[in-house]
């Protein structure tokens, strides 16, 4: 069983991912030509802002302190958002959509790991499952947009 400190640290890592996703979606929306894609990414950015707020409150409720919501990027995340920045320079919707999916996979993997690790902590599971489901829905929306791009 993980200690409260370990759980808080893992939730803080997730908070970093969520904040980076929020910024990534916002940046991606600025690079998109199509209004529909801009709107979709702005909606996901707002969703991630809400998730970050919920996570921060949850961490504080459990005795954690959130000093810096941005912090250093983890290795995989850093590579992911570098890919997104490179994709944005191309201004091709398909390239940006692929890069966003890569970032979402990293975030989804983190949620899934935490849900598996925290199976005996019901108070964490509700929040994590709800947010994870939102990430899955976002990925499905991006995949749908990708399939429309091919048509």
Over residues 60-87, the pLDDT tens digits come to: 999 999 865 554 445 455 456 556 665 6
Q: Is a pLDDT exceeding 50 seen at residue 112?
A: yes
Over residues 13-53, the pLDDT tens digits come to: 999 999 988 988 988 888 888 899 999 999 999 999 999 99
Q: Which of 3, 28, 21, 5 is nearest to 111 (CA)?
A: 21
Over residues 114-126, the pLDDT tens digits come to: 999 988 888 899 9
Q: What is the mean pLDDT of residues 126-131?
A: 96
Q: Can you give the residue range of the structural domain that contains 60?
A: 4-150
pLDDT value at residue 138: 96
Q: Which of 18, 103, 91 is nearest to 54 (CA)?
A: 18
Q: How many CB atoms lie within 10 A of CB 109?
A: 12
The whole-angstrom distance between residue 96's C-alpha and the CA centroid of its chain comes to 15
Only one residue has tokens 């944005």, namely 88
Structure tokens at 69: 């919501």
Q: What is the mean pLDDT of residues 78-105?
A: 72
Helix H or strand E encompassing 107: helix 93-117
How many domains does the structure of the chain reveal? 1
């Amino acid at each position: 069983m993980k200690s409260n400190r370990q759980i808080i640290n893992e939730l803080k890592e997730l908070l970093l991912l969520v904040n980076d996703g929020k910024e990534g979606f916002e940046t991606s929306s600025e690079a998109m030509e199509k209004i529909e894609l801009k709107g979709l990414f702005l909606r996901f950015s707002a969703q991630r802002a809400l998730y970050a707020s919920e996570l921060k409150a949850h961490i504080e409720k459990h005795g954690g302190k959130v000093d810096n919501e941005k912090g250093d990027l983890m290795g995989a995340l850093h590579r992911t958002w570098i890919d997104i920045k490179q994709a944005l320079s191309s201004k091709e919707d398909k390239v940006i959509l692929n890069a966003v999916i890569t970032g979402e996979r990293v975030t989804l993997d983190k949620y899934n790991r935490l849900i598996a690790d925290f199976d005996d902590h019901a108070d964490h599971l509700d929040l994590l499952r709800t947010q994870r489901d939102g990430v899955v829905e976002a990925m499905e929306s991006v995949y749908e947009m990708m399939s429309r791009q091919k048509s």
